[in-house]
A and B are shown apart, each in its own frame.
Chain A
Amino acid sequence: MTLPSHPDTPPSAQTGYRHELYPYTGRDEFLQGTVGFIQEALDDGEAVVVAVPQDKASLLRSEVPEDGTVRFVDTSALAHHPGRLIGAWQEWIREHAAGGRPVRGIGESPWDQVQSQAQAEQLRYHEWLLNKAFADGPAWWLLCPYDTTGDGAALQQLTRCHPQIRTGGRSAPSTDYDPQAPFDFVPLSHPCDPYEEFIYTNGDLPALREKISACAEQLGLADRRLRELHLAATEIATNSIRHGGGHGTLRTWHEDQRMVCEFRDSGFIADPLAGRHRPTSTQVGGRGLWLVHQLCDLVEIRSTPDTGTTIRLHTQLTG
């Protein structure tokens, strides 16, 4: 295959985090852009982490063998859990940059396999959060391939999340990206009827877990999955009691093979990256939201000073 030419700015001159969207159509264009990106990295002595769906990884492996410089990571356990991806990238970069060499990444989400609108929204939000998560960290360069086949509207949403767009081997600033603008969330869907509601305050954590158990058992959710949901729900409710006005409202319902637990309180989560970074052993607190993201299939958070905080925990039901 023909490798594209170098981009206008050589990577060695880059500082900070560089986040590029690579819109492509079909297999050949995917390979052309990604192999070229990898080749540029190898030419400049950089390491590469490839985090793409299995089918894309197989394509790339046939062109670029894995060695000490190019590492393919298995994303199958992470790809559908956007809240876990920033922590994963931090680890991959830390492990691969151990020799002090610059690192590039290729990260593609399984957009054609998203399980819900909520998941698609959270994957886009993850792309937007990446700019904040790595803004102050060591320099590295992430290319995000996106197959545009038949989906122009979604592409436009993604251009708002990426400061740069790569076309024909060259990158240019994304005119849709505004680093000062907040993420443009789609409003949360209404809870499905029938839903259960429970108002909780100090001393109600056991009762809250019982409410969740009652709903979960009707849906066949038990054992480890229920214990994990209990843990996540307790962390959210504890935050409501301690930081969210002393009380909150739990709603539980079932939609599209998922159990949803929604928590509302009057608190405000100022840091959009809360719970996205892996905690250290010595940090004081700050583990609750991290655990929630790690234990739940999908987490939606909406928080403003005016309206308070709404958090939805989605648990996939099997069978």
Chain B
Amino acid sequence: MRAARTLATLDEAGNGDHVCQLMGPADDVMDRSRAFVADGALFGDKVMIVGPAVETAGEFAQTVLDPARLGGSLIAAVRREAESAGREGYRSLRVLHHVSRDAWPEGPEELLRSELDLEEFAADSGALVVCAYRGAEWDASTLEEVRCVHPHYLGSRPESPAFQVYRTGKEGWTVNGVIDAEGASAFGAVLCTLLAQSVTVRLLCHGLEFFDAAAMGTLADASRHLPDRKVVLEGTNDTLRLAWELSGFAVPSIPVVMAP
């Protein structure tokens, strides 16, 4: 069972982890890549490095990709590498993604979709995916959104994000933590992205500590954003169910199911 956790070092990351690593200005990309490759060799994993400025990483990694020259989606390239890793006898695939703002000209929506794809891939395949962000390159709201969809966190900021959404099992997404007015926008972005890819989104809310009116409004709006969609929240507490009903959202035109 996957569980969210904060890592002290990348050495603690393992198979199936999807790590968001926030790098400071002094962190060196090549040093990080070398250490990552060394660990891959130690465990018998195929190493894939994705990033625009990692040409020299090709000296030591099995696969190096520049996202600007992919000719397709990142997740498709990653899945191909995972398949070839299996054929080539590697234990698994480990991906180090140096996420650069220049590589995502489509904007934060596309980046979030890619991160959710990688999250699903890591959970389903058992691959290790590390997404390294330079904090100074990104605006706060984008960083908050992408941090929320990584169950594992490593970096200069001491605290985990207020809430996390991560893959659990084949059909569900665990939602844990606190979603209030300060996180409602990020939650809405994540949910809209999931609903764009799936007719029904199943959210496992057993670890959801708090969900305020702003978050409920975001949930209602997102569920109506596209036609014929449904959001099922499992593991909700009686306070959330009561507040949802009191807020006027428990109506057929809002395709949300709240279950204990």
Contact = CB atoms under 8 A, between A and B. Distances in A.
Interface stretch (A214-222, A234-242, A309-317): A234-242
B217 A234 contact: no
B220 A227 contact: no
A287 B239 contact: no
Contacts of A228: 239, 242
Given A206-B162, A224-B238, A281-B251, A238 B212 contact: yes
Contact of B182 (A205, A230, A283): A205
Interface in B115-142: none
Interface string B211-247: 0111011001000000000000000011100110011
A209 B210 contact: yes
A227 B216 contact: no
A226 to B, nearest CB: 9
Given A231-B239, A234-B210, A281-B253, A242 B162 contact: no
Interface stretch (A4-12, A67-75, A190-198, A290-298): A290-298
B109 interface: no
B90 interface: no
Interface in B82-130: none
B248 A279 contact: yes
B70 interface: no
B68 interface: no
B207 to A, nearest CB: 14
A288 B216 CA distance: 11
Contacts of A291: 213, 243, 246-247
A117 interface: no
Interface in A265-297: 278-281, 283-285, 287-288, 290-291, 294-295
B149 interface: no
Interface in B154-177: 162
A288 B213 contact: yes
A235 B243 CA distance: 12
Contacts of A230: 210
Interface residues of B, number: 24
B178 interface: yes
A305 interface: no
Given A205-B182, A295-B243, A227 B213 contact: no
A203 interface: yes
**Chain A, interface SS category:** helix
Contacts of A280: 248
Interface string B171-205: 00000001011100000000000000000000000
Interface in A165-224: 202-203, 205-206, 209, 224
A295 B238 CA distance: 12
Contacts of B220: 281
Given A281-B249, A281-B251, A281-B253, A238 B243 contact: no
A224 B178 CA distance: 16
A287 B213 contact: yes
B38 interface: no
Nearest to B159: A206
Looking at B181, B213, B214, the one whose CB has the most chain A CB atoms below 10 A away is B213
Given A227-B239, A295-B243, A206 B213 contact: no
Contacts of B210: 209, 227, 230-231, 234
A280 B251 CA distance: 10
B212 A234 contact: yes
Nearest to A234: B212
B181 A205 contact: yes
Looking at B237, B239, B253, the one whose CB has the most chain A CB atoms below 10 A away is B239
B10 interface: no
A287 B217 CA distance: 9
30 contacts: A203-B182, A205-B180, A205-B181, A205-B182, A206-B178, A227-B210, A231-B213, A234-B181, A238-B180, A238-B181, A238-B212, A241-B181, A242-B181, A279-B247, A279-B248, A281-B248, A281-B251, A281-B253, A281-B254, A283-B248, A284-B217, A287-B213, A287-B216, A287-B217, A287-B247, A290-B247, A291-B213, A291-B243, A294-B246, A295-B242
Which are the 9 A-B pairs with shortest beta-carbon distances? A227-B239, A279-B248, A238-B181, A287-B213, A281-B251, A281-B248, A287-B247, A234-B212, A294-B246
Given A238-B180, A287-B216, 18 more contacts: A205-B180, A206-B162, A206-B178, A209-B210, A224-B239, A227-B237, A230-B210, A231-B212, A234-B210, A238-B214, A279-B247, A287-B213, A287-B217, A287-B247, A287-B248, A290-B246, A291-B243, A291-B246
